[in-house]
Structure 1
Amino acid sequence: MDLDRLAEQGYVIVPKFLAPEQCHELYQYATQLAPQDWQQAGIGRADQYTTNSAVRQDKIRWLQREVPYENAYLRMMDQLRVEINRYLFMGLFDYECHLAHYPPGAFYRKHLDAFKGRSNRILTTVFYLNPEWTEADGGQLVIYGDRGEVLETVLPEAGKLVVFLSDVFVHEVLAGQRDRYSITGWYRLNASIGGIVDPTR
């Protein structure tokens, strides 16, 4: 991963972060999960958590270390966290992530993943699992600049990783024509209070 580019512009797009075989295994795993393994995605945290289908329409599954396929991805992202800290001194403490499934027509309107001073989420990562995805399939991730200009329109192709500063870049997911799968995660700072990691505010 080009960490110089991440440092310079606040985001980086890595076209082939994982080998095709690994992507395919994760894709197969995601598509074979049962309906009860997913939950409707929401907005906000703790007391402010709510679902709003006018804003986002994806379903999610939080990754757990007890599940082999999920643990393998989490361990790989732990290694990336160490590399980022070593190179950029960002003080990233841990990582949380979920699978996301966007059925045909589903979207996620413009939003920020963190607000300055109100979250310990520092870096957002989005990894795509979708084989043979084309422009006609839609479902692009759009990243905006601070004046509302489009910086990037990212096709959610298998193997592609996007990393960006969580409290800087407004972004959205456009509606797609096919089932769309990704793994979205956040590197976080340590917000421990009284020995409790990341206590609910």
Structure 2
Amino acid sequence: MQISQTDWPETDFTKAVESLAQRHYAVIPDFLSPPMLEMLRSECLHMHDEGHFHAASVGRAAGQQLNQRIRGDSIRWLEPEFPAGGRYLARMAELQAQLNRELFLGLRQFETHYAHYEPGSFYKRHVDRHRDNDARVISAVCYLNPEWPQEAGGEIRVWNDADEEVLCLSPQGGALLLFTSHNMPHEVLPANRVRLSLAGWFRRD
């Protein structure tokens, strides 16, 4: 799908790539333009209201299970034919190409889903790469909550592999967070209102 400059602000990913290489995480505060933020948010809410979401599981393959003591969000995987989601996937393909050019990561695929957190729901501390599968390389979380007040909560906390907290980020609409999938534990704190995001992974074979 073609994307236009009206869909996205002009973004230089160079600083984000450098931060990923040096600190294993990066934040792009204005990754989404206001119109693109509204398109994605509206699509997410519409699909949720139409019943196209399902409760998220933990684990992989035969080990998958529902456990709301660990995570309480519901999700809907993006497809290229989604009017807004398809544009997001195309934009992330551009980022994937730059990550491969500059960091030689061998990324082959990007997958992502809408995540809908009801008030009070959370996701306990975890890492994104499964123990028995190293396909996930870079995690990407994009927030769909315009004008999110600090008192609403819902931050993501991120630690490095030395167990030092390196980031506590409010889910402010339009921001994109990137971090390495294998060594950055993180958690989603409860919010006092509905919290929306796109959570995904750049993968290798």
* TM-score higher than 0.5: yes
Moved over 4 A (4+): none
Residues 30 and 99 of structure 1 are in contact (CA less than 8 Å); yes or no, is this contact kept in structure 2? Answer: yes
Q: Compute the displacement of 1:116 (Å).
A: 6.2
Separation (CA, whole Å) in 1 of partners of 2:195 and 2:50? 15
Residue identity over aligned pairs, in percent, reads: 36
Equivalent pairs counted in the alignment come to: 190
Counterpart contact for 1:58–1:106, Cα < 8 Å: yes
TM-fit CA distance, 1:121 = 0.4
Instruction: Give the root-mean-square deviation of aligned CA atoms.
Output: 1.2
Aligned partner (choices 18, 25, 35) of residue 11 of structure 1: 25
Q: One-letter code of the match for 2:147?
A: E
- TM-score, scaled relative to structure 2: 0.89
Name the SS for the 1:71 alignment partner.
helix
Q: What amino acid does structure 1 have at the position aligned with 2:18?
A: D
Q: How does 1:98-109 map to 2 (within 5 A)?
A: 98-109=113-124
138-147 or 105-114: bigger deviation: 138-147
Residue number in structure 2 paired with 1:128: 143
Following the alignment from structure 1 to structure 2, what is the Cα–Cα distance between the partners of residues 60 and 130?
A: 16
1:40 aligns with 2:55: yes
Give the Å deviation of 1:27.
1.0
- Please tell me whether the aligned partners of residues 116 and 167 of structure 1 are also in contact (alpha carbons under 8 angstroms): no
Matching residue of 2:37: 23
- Structure 2, gaps ≥5 residues long: 1-12
Report the secondary structure of 1:157's partner residue.
coil
Determine the structure 1 residue equivalent to 2:8: none
Distance 1:85 1:129 in 2: 27
1:74-85 counterparts in 2 under 5 A? 74-85=89-100
Offset at 1:35?
A: 4.6
Is 2:199 the counterpart of 1:184?
Answer: yes
Where does the alignment leave 5 or more consecutive residues of structure 1 unmatched? 191-201
Deviates more, 1:19-28 or 1:155-164: 19-28
Query: TM-score, with normalisation over the residues of structure 1?
Result: 0.91
